[in-house]
DNA sequence: CACCATTTGTTCGTATGTATG
DNA sequence: GCATACATACGAACAAATGGT
């Protein structure tokens, strides 16, 4: 996925991550399943903490862009429902 | 304030805390300012972690019941605005 | 059924940052 | 600068849900 966080920015990392993930979803770069939280952590530079990635995902979840399924993963929501 | 969490309950502590705080607000037991997060931690049995109390407050914030002001505290929202 | 791997969810402790007065 | 209070972040651990063996 490759996400880069600017640590000098006044925008918090969790929001930068959410913004970049949202862009990748809306652009169609991510279509079905998102990488697992641990995979995401390894694909973000510099590597954030688990809860930071979770907070970014929570934003997209609040926006209705993704849904999470414990034991399965996080998925891009296809249609409105 | 005095809040008790049942650790044997399947309901997560952060939600139990949110539920009890909500009840105290709606009943009028808490009318203006909530205790600070650190005070709340000390008034809940068993003593939860800082982030657990924050998560409970976040729920009430999402519900529009309280508003938080950094440097000031967390306040019960009076009227709809 | 048990066991295990994977993934999301919660919690704690601590540290640092931001905002206000 | 200092004190208070909320906000973000990290690392670690454990629980819960799912699916496979």
pLDDT on residue A80: 62
pLDDT on residue A69: 94
Bases of chain D within 7 A of a CB of the protein? 3-13, 16-19
| Mean pLDDT value across residues A37-43 | 95
> A24 CA, D14 C1': separation in Å?
32
A67 touches strand C (CB under 7 A): no
Does pLDDT of A46 surpass 80? yes
Q: Which two tokens stand for residue B67?
A: 């508003």
Q: Which two tokens stand for residue A71?
A: 């034991």
Residues of chain B with pLDDT under 70: 1, 79-81
Percent over 90 (pLDDT), chain A: 90
Q: Before A46, cis peptide (omega within 30)?
A: yes
Outline where chain B has alpha helix (H).
13-26, 37-43, 50-62
Task: Give the model confidence (pLDDT) of B32-47 as tens digits.
Answer: 999 999 999 999 989 9
């Amino acid at each position: 996925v490759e996400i880069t966080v600017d640590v000098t920015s006044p925008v918090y990392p969790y929001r930068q991550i959410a913004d970049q993930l949202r862009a990748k979803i809306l652009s169609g770069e991510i279509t079905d399943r998102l990488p697992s939280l641990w995979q995401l952590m390894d694909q973000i530079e510099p590597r954030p903490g688990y809860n930071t990635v979770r907070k970014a995902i929570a934003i997209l979840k609040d926006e209705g862009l993704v849904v999470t399924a414990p034991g399965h993963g996080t998925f891009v929501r296809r249609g409105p429902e």
